[in-house]
Structure 1
Amino acid sequence: MTDTPQDSAFTLVVPSCDFYSDTWPYFFHFLFKYWPDIPAPIYLLSNHLSYDDPRVHTIKVGDDHQWGDNLRAALPQVPGDVLLMLLDDFFLNQPVITRDVLEAVQRFRQLGARYLGLDQFRKHGTPVPGTTWHAILPDPPCVGLNATMWSASQLQAVANAPGMNIWQAESRAKQLAREDHSGHYYIGPQGTPLLTYQESIKGLFWKPSTLDFFKRENVPLSASPRPCPPQGQDFVSKFIRSWKKRSFRNWLKKRSEKMTRDGITVVKPLD
């Protein structure tokens, strides 16, 4: 990995918070397994905790507020003008071809792009000649936050509104694309996604498919007590989810208090 941002084609940004720090060992395990030669500095955004790996730079923004507020506070400290952003609960599940990513970054710059979705939208649009990229049209704009490439200025524009949770930040990104869709692209149906991933969490809980993924990967679920309750819509399933959500939030609070008492500020990688 290249440590000097000025020598790197892009910077990887992982927006997170201490509430999701139990995902970090898994996120980085799969990141380095499936992208061992990542040619970029990596910046994890957190509140007070850091991740114990010399390949990962942690930017601490202080007490948690909203997702957008954390991002807005951290971005001035993130170097580089092209930012590849991957959310903390999206675990890579297939090898990343570095050459393809670097070619995409080069094309991104040549086009003066502001946004690229790195996964694949299975819809037809306006193709960019000689590529599998499609230009995003104002309605509906295919803009999300899952696995994305941004110009630093466009991501700052998205974050430049106070009090946004992640869904509101995504809505703002869509609205900005409606107002000016120039420079916004996605990989069309004939293209190959640059990143593929296991979307691991829904409503605070591990998704059942995530537990299957861990099992296939032979990764023990020992670094996190995050539950995976019944998914049904019946009364009992909903009651269990509600109870487990309260229990998990209480556990997180006690964990934070204990780490503060013990002076622990670092999250360890998987054994």
Structure 2
Amino acid sequence: MQTTAPSPPDLPDLKVAVFSCDLYCDMWPLFFHFLFKHWPDVPTPVYLLTNHLSYDDPRVITVKVGEDTSWTDGIARGLAQVPSEYVFCFLDDFMLTKPMPVQRLADVYHPLKNQDGNWVCLRPKAPAPENDPPALIAPITDAAQSAGFHAGIWRTTYLQKLCAEVQLNIWHTEGHIRKLIRGGRAEKLFYMTENAAGLVSYIEVVKRFWQKDGIDYVRANNIRPDLWRRPYPPQGDNVFARFIRSILKRYVRLRSSLETKRLLKENNGVVSSAVRFIKAEN
């Protein structure tokens, strides 16, 4: 007797938006490989915000924002082209490591939407409030709490407006949001309580360069990272390691710039979705 697979939980008015730039186009095949592996029923299309290049996958719509003027300016211009009330935000160098528990995600998303919320952090922040012990989400009231971009659901128009009002990089934007929270000027921001712990599991694989945890993760999944494009320098905090990394910063920017120009000239700016797998030894 055949059984029908259960339908994925309904996530109305929610799409995934990946915040990126052409400098990190070498991360796209890896990011989407793990996204579609661990979240096969992800709401599509997925929106990739970047500069001039595009990604070759029918499940992905590339939103080109043009030249970098600031991180916030690019995000504001990109979100204006995402036709969704809410966006699940990812950064391109944070790879999913476990299957997305979609039912639990829906259980967090629906109260956010029902309360007309503007953001919820998808990492546990604190216990549930005393007046609502079983709550999965709760309003941010503690000035020490903050909003970030590693994994969270934002109201698209709210985040677009917030980014359009400033010219900041991503780290200063998070600091700007902290100031808004402390000043009581951030509306309807929520945290995910410990009742919903462990919703999203991911790993930061690069910080400009490859990190050891990232190298270990992709190799454990039989994927060969391109270390010519983005090296794996010494990881310590000694003088030698810092010196090597300072030199390689310029190298990475140069290689990325040359690759972007090559793709625009030879391949209409399209980045292949092919992933380089490690060949098995005979």
Q: Same fold (TM over 0.5)?
A: yes
* TM-score (structure 1 length as normaliser): 0.89
Q: Write the distance in 1 (CA, Å) between the matches of 2:131 and 2:264.
A: 52
- The residue that corresponds to 1:165 in the other structure is 169
* 1:192 is the counterpart of 2:197: yes
CA 89–251 in structure 1, closer or farther in 2 if over 3 Å, else same: same
Q: Write the distance in 2 (CA, Å) between the matches of 1:224 and 1:77.
A: 34
> Which structure 1 segments of 5+ residues have no match?
1-6
Larger Rg: 2
Alignment counterpart, residue 188 of structure 2, candidates 183, 191, 208: 183
> 1:25-54: per-residue Cα shift (whole Å, max 9, x none)?
011000000000113431101111111000
Q: Write the mapping of 1:107-256 to structure 2, written as runs, cut at 5 A.
A: 107-121=111-125, 123-124=126-127, 126=129, 129=132, 130-178=134-182, 179-202=184-207, 204-222=208-226, 225-256=229-260
CA 111–230 in structure 1, closer or farther in 2 if over 3 Å, else same: same
Contact map agreement 2:44 2:59 (CA 8 A) in 1:
no
- The residue that corresponds to 2:36 in the other structure is 32
- The residue that corresponds to 1:3 in the other structure is none
Residue identity (%): 33
Alignment counterpart, residue 52 of structure 2, candidates 48, 52, 63: 48
Q: Write the distance in 2 (CA, Å) between the matches of 1:19 and 1:99.
A: 34
- The residue that corresponds to 1:19 in the other structure is 23
Q: 1:259 Cα deviation (Å)? A: 2.3
Q: Write the distance in 2 (CA, Å) between the matches of 1:34 and 1:128.
A: 35
> Which structure 2 segments of 5+ residues have no match?
1-10, 276-282
Moved more, 50-59 or 135-144: 135-144
Cα RMSD (Å):
2.0
> 1:190-209: per-residue Cα shift (whole Å, max 9, x none)?
4223221011222x111111
CA 144–16 in structure 1, closer or farther in 2 if over 3 Å, else same: same
Q: Write the distance in 1 (CA, Å) between the matches of 2:155 and 2:111.
A: 13
* TM-score (structure 2 length as normaliser): 0.86
Q: Secondary structure at the match of 1:148?
A: strand
Moved more, 8-17 or 253-262: 253-262
Count matched residues.
Answer: 263
Q: Write the distance in 2 (CA, Å) between the matches of 1:112 and 1:194.
A: 21
